[in-house]
Amino acid sequence: MARPDYYGNPAGLVDEIEVVRALYDAFERRDLDAMLAGFSENAELFLEGTARLAGRTEPYRGHDGLREYLADVDRLWEELVLHVEDYRAVPGSVIVMGHITGRRQGLDVQRAAVWTWKVADGLATSVKAADLGDL
């Protein structure tokens, strides 16, 4: 059975989803300029999986934090792919359900994940990743 167009998006929000979708696309290409253009200068990135591997206890903050996060991804992961399965939106927030696949220290990794995004004025102001465990 097909879902109605408004499923997961009762307010019919598209702008917030498009901001987040563009950031996933930019991450897939590892396009730093596109990612910087999509995040506010004071954004907070609570990306605990990679942060923990890097020995960080604080979120990545701002554009410099985004650069640090991407450097940590390059340093710690042989491969890291984010797979989006569904978007849900309410004004100012986008919830993304999906999973990650990757390779680290020669081992394949597959984890279910949910990302919670805050969006304001066409820019992401925060993202939090929740690791839901093995697939």
Greater confidence (93 vs 2) lies with: 93
> Residue range 57-65: average pLDDT?
97
Q: Is residue 21 part of a domain?
A: yes
pTM over cut 0.85 = yes
Tell me the CATH number at 35.
3.10.450.50
Q: Is residue 4 part of a domain?
A: no
pLDDT above 70: percentage of residues in the chain: 90
Q: Is residue 73 part of a domain?
A: yes
| DSSP code of residue 54 | T
Strand, coil or helix: 67 = helix
What is the span of the domain harbouring residue 83? 15-134
Domain count, the chain: 1
In tens, the pLDDT along 80-130 reads 999 999 999 999 999 999 999 999 999 999 999 999 999 999 999 999 999
